[in-house]
């Protein structure tokens, strides 16, 4: 199927072809033409026009053409739902809608400035949106490994807490571990009592009702599940050793981490990592 839009694309007119080819029409062919010839060329090429005034698939009510395509074709992929406001914000200069919008706009504008052929620009842009989709699907909660808090956490582990042969851990190091642990972005050290106090709700009520709204899990089970998910993310996206991952995700030691990981996944961390590497 042929699709057609205005020449010199930047955000929406590259994001939309990416969406069409990956979720709507894998064999799609795209044409970029001067804005005043889109409708005429659409008839000539039997092509569907998009992102141009007066057609079905275009900006409406503050939404962009990417949104219009998702609505028309009923695309409910969670990663696309995350991408949509980023693309909308970048394309409509509403960068306050999504923190990633300014960066996407900067990359798109720079590519358009450097690449003068629209088909070559589309080809390069496809890689950008492939990467954005992968981030939205798998990596949203992953921070760069040089994050100051995360790196400091690993440094403390390596220098002071990873002691063998029964060496005594100094009190100050234990206290430092606790202080830094409180800064982990997942907030997995929260207690039920602390949460209840913050919510101004009786802890017994929260404990009783918690499972109804959190995957049918108790508070402890849910926190454990989040820790394991965080650990899997580290295993897939970092070079940390398993002992470091155990520490970063709030387990008391690697043996505790291994036992809980196997209970949750059916595999030890080593087995899980080996199986992932085979895929």
pLDDT in tens, 129-154: 999 999 999 887 665 544 544 555 55
Q: What is the pLDDT of residues 42-69, one digit of tens each?
A: 999 999 999 999 999 999 988 999 999 9
> What are residue 32's DSSP bridge partners?
5
> What are residue 33's DSSP bridge partners?
6
* Sole residue written with tokens 């693309």: 87
Question: What is the pLDDT at residue 169?
Answer: 55
Q: What is the pLDDT of residues 82-107, one digit of tens each?
A: 999 999 999 998 888 888 999 999 99
Nearest alpha-carbon partner for 104 in 120, 88, 123 = 88
Distance of alpha carbon 141 from the chain centroid: 6
Q: What is the pLDDT of residues 194-219, one digit of tens each?
A: 656 655 667 776 677 767 777 788 87
* Summary mean pLDDT of the chain: 82
Which band of pLDDT confidence, cut at 50, 70 and 90, is reported for residue 126? very high
pTM value > 0.85: no
Phi and psi, residue 112, nearest 5°: -65, -35
Distance CA 209, CA 159 (A): 42
120-150: string of b/e by CB count within 10 Å (b at 16+)? ebbeebbebbeebbebbeeeeebeeeeeeeb
Q: Which domains does the chain have, with CATH numbers?
A: 2-139 (no CATH), 148-278 (1.10.10.60)
* Sole residue written with tokens 């997995």: 188
């Amino acid at each position: 199927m042929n699709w057609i839009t205005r020449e010199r694309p930047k955000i929406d007119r590259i994001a939309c072809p990416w969406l069409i080819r990956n979720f709507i029409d894998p064999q799609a062919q795209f044409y970029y033409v001067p804005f005043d010839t889109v409708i005429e060329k659409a008839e000539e090429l039997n092509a569907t026009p998009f992102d141009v005034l007066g057609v079905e698939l275009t900006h409406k009510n503050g939404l962009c053409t990417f949104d219009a395509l998702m609505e028309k074709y009923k695309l409910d992929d969670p990663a696309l739902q995350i991408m949509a406001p980023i693309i909308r914000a970048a394309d409509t200069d509403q960068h306050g809608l999504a923190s990633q919008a300014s960066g996407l706009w900067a990359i798109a504008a720079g590519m358009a400035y450097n690449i003068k052929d629209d088909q070559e620009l589309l080809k390069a842009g496809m890689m950008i949106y492939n990467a954005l989709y992968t981030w939205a699907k798998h990596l949203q909660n992953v921070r760069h490994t040089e994050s100051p808090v995360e790196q400091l956490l690993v440094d403390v582990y390596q220098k002071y807490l990873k002691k063998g042969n029964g060496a005594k851990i100094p009190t100050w190091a234990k206290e430092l571990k606790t202080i830094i642990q409180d800064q982990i972005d997942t907030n997995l050290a929260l207690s039920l009592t602390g949460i209840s106090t913050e919510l101004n709700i009786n802890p017994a009520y929260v404990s009783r009702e918690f499972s109804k709204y959190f995957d049918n899990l108790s508070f402890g089970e849910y926190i454990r599940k989040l820790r394991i998910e965080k650990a899997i993310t580290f295993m897939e996206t970092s070079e940390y050793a398993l002992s470091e991952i155990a520490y970063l995700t709030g387990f008391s030691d690697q043996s505790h981490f291994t036992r809980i990981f196997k209970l949750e996944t059916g595999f030890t961390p080593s087995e899980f990592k080996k199986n992932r590497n085979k895929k």
